[in-house]
């Protein structure tokens, strides 16, 4: 058992990093007070406990407890009750070294006024940590090479397929995506969680807008007049999460192929690119709606003529 609280730098990554710009709902009124609390090892202990509870309850490899021992299908299906203040405080006692192992509800409430405030900061921590070099990234090292190939290389299609595969692989094999789905379901009527969700999406949006802008510039491409880069990236994110949900709900469907390292998302991204983007040097200037209408009307006209 720990005899004294560890120093911040002794904690594993990313808990040893500066969290004052990440945790936005700490129960302090001054900037210095919030920064000190954000980087307190006990705060890190509560975050680590919450992360374990998320994976235990939501997966991958979630623990499932039948309500009726004679009916193994009568599983308990918690929403966010598994992250109650009492459950989180109790789980702190299971922290590995060098995290503090003494957590109380009073200490948790001193840091976060309510369960919603704690969950909001846990969400922020989840989404922030997945993009750190010292922590599991959405993109593997190999896929980062494909990202560079997408921007600068001669063959972009294989890169699109591999980046899409890595994105879905990450969603399926890490608890952050599952927490985000459950939190989204619980966010209605909860302004604290909803605000944290919006921040998470904003960060992801900005990250991929920068990537898409580079691709367009380097490859001499432009979006059609009625498609903004903001909308284009929103569609990319929505497609990725939609494919992720489908793969979680129906693992047997032909959505995700680990042997070939490809997935349905790659096909969707190619279709979105083909419809929304054109070469700058020979652009027809048509909106997406105009281009689709022209294609559909031409098909109908040819059918009538036949």
Q: Is residue 262 part of a domain?
A: yes
Q: Is residue 131 part of a domain?
A: no
Cα 243 to Cα 264: distance, rounded to the nearest angstrom: 7
1 and 82 fall within a common domain: yes
**Containing structural domain, residue 16:** 1-125
Asked whether the predicted pLDDT for residue 6 surpasses 90, the reply is no
154 and 282 fall within a common domain: yes
117 and 140 fall within a common domain: no
Q: Is residue 130 part of a domain?
A: no
- Which of the listed residues 94, 125, 156 is the one where a domain comes to its end? 125
Asked whether the predicted pLDDT for residue 2 surpasses 70, the reply is no
Q: Is residue 114 part of a domain?
A: yes
Which residue did the predictor score with more confidence, 1 or 27?
27
Asked whether the predicted pLDDT for residue 272 surpasses 90, the reply is yes
Mean pLDDT of 98-114: 90
184 and 264 fall within a common domain: yes
Asked whether the predicted pLDDT for residue 133 surpasses 60, the reply is no
CB 283 within 8 A of CB 290: no
DSSP code per residue over 237-274: HHHHHHHHHHHHH-TTSTTEETTTTEEHHHHHHHHHHH
CA angle 272, 275, 276 (to 5 degrees): 80
φ, ψ of residue 74 in degrees (nearest 5): -85, 65
181 and 215 fall within a common domain: yes
Return the structure tokens found at 83. Answer: 């992250």
**Other CB atoms within 10 A of residue 55 CB:** 17
Convert the pLDDT of each residue in 172-209 to its tens digit. 887 778 888 877 776 666 677 788 788 778 878 888 89
DSSP state, residue 42: H
pTM for this predicted structure: 0.69
The SS3 of residue 253 is coil
Query: 122: which residues sit within 8 A by CB, 6+ positions away?
Result: 47, 50, 51, 54, 83, 179
φ, ψ of residue 263 in degrees (nearest 5): -155, 170
What is the number of domains present in the chain?
2
- Which of the listed residues 125, 155, 177 is the one where a domain comes to its end? 125
Asked whether the predicted pLDDT for residue 293 surpasses 70, the reply is yes
- Confidence at residue 84, expressed as pLDDT on a 0 to 100 scale: 87
Convert the pLDDT of each residue in 223-253 to its tens digit. 999 999 999 999 999 999 999 989 888 887 8
Mean pLDDT of 90-117: 90
**Pick from 178, 161, 176: which is nearest to 256 by CA?**
161
Model confidence band, residue 136 (pLDDT cutoffs 50, 70, 90): very low
CB 153 within 8 A of CB 159: yes
116 and 214 fall within a common domain: no
What average pLDDT does the chain have? Answer: 81
- Confidence at residue 129, expressed as pLDDT on a 0 to 100 scale: 64
Give the domain CATH number at 295.
1.10.357
Model confidence band, residue 102 (pLDDT cutoffs 50, 70, 90): confident
Convert the pLDDT of each residue in 148-163 to its tens digit. 888 888 888 988 998 8
Q: Can you point out the beta strands (E) in the chain?
A: 66-68, 71-75, 221-223, 256-257, 262-263, 277-279
118 and 143 fall within a common domain: no
- Which of the listed residues 125, 153, 187 is the one where a domain comes to its end? 125
- Confidence at residue 270, expressed as pLDDT on a 0 to 100 scale: 95
- Confidence at residue 253, expressed as pLDDT on a 0 to 100 scale: 81
117 and 155 fall within a common domain: no
The residue behind tokens 């497609």 is: 239
The residue behind tokens 């680590």 is: 48
Convert the pLDDT of each residue in 14-60 to its tens digit. 888 888 888 888 989 899 999 999 999 999 999 999 988 887 877 66
- Confidence at residue 63, expressed as pLDDT on a 0 to 100 scale: 57
Which residue did the predictor score with more confidence, 285 or 137?
285
Cα 56 to Cα 65: distance, rounded to the nearest angstrom: 11
Cα 17 to Cα 129: distance, rounded to the nearest angstrom: 10
What is the C-alpha R_g of the chain?
23
Buried b / exposed e across 157-187, counting CB within 10 Å, b at 16+? eebbbbbbbbbbbbbbebbbbbbbbbbeebb
């Amino acid at each position: 058992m720990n005899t004294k609280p560890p120093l911040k730098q002794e904690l594993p990554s990313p808990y040893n990093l500066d969290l004052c710009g990440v945790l936005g709902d700490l129960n302090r009124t001054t900037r210095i007070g919030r920064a000190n609390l954000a980087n307190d090892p006990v705060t890190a202990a509560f975050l680590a406990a919450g992360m374990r509870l998320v994976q235990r309850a939501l997966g991958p490899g979630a623990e499932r407890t039948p309500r009726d021992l004679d009916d193994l299908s009568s599983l308990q299906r918690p929403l966010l009750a598994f992250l109650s203040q009492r459950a989180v405080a109790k789980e702190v006692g299971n922290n590995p070294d060098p995290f503090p192992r003494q957590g109380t509800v009073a200490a948790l409430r001193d840091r976060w006024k309510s369960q919603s405030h704690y969950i909001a900061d846990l969400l922020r921590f989840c989404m922030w940590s997945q993009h750190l070099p010292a922590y599991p990234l959405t993109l593997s090292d190999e896929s980062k090479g494909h990202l560079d190939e997408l921007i600068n290389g001669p063959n972009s299609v294989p890169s699109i397929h591999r980046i899409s595969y890595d994105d879905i692989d990450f969603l399926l094999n890490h608890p952050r995506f599952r927490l985000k789905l459950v939190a989204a379901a619980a966010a209605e009527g909860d302004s604290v969680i909803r605000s944290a969700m919006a921040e998470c999406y904003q960060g992801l949006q900005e990250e991929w807008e920068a990537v898409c802008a580079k691709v367009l510039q380097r490859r001499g491409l432009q979006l059609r007049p009625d498609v903004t880069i903001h909308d284009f990236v929103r569609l990319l994110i929505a497609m990725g999460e939609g494919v992720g949900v489908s793969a979680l709900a129906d693992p047997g469907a032909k959505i995700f192929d680990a042997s070939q390292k490809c997935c349905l998302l790659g096909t969707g991204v190619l279709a979105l690119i083909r419809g929304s983007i054109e070469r700058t040097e020979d652009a027809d200037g048509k909106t997406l709606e105009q281009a689709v209408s022209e294609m559909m009307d031409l098909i109908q006209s040819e059918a009538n003529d036949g």
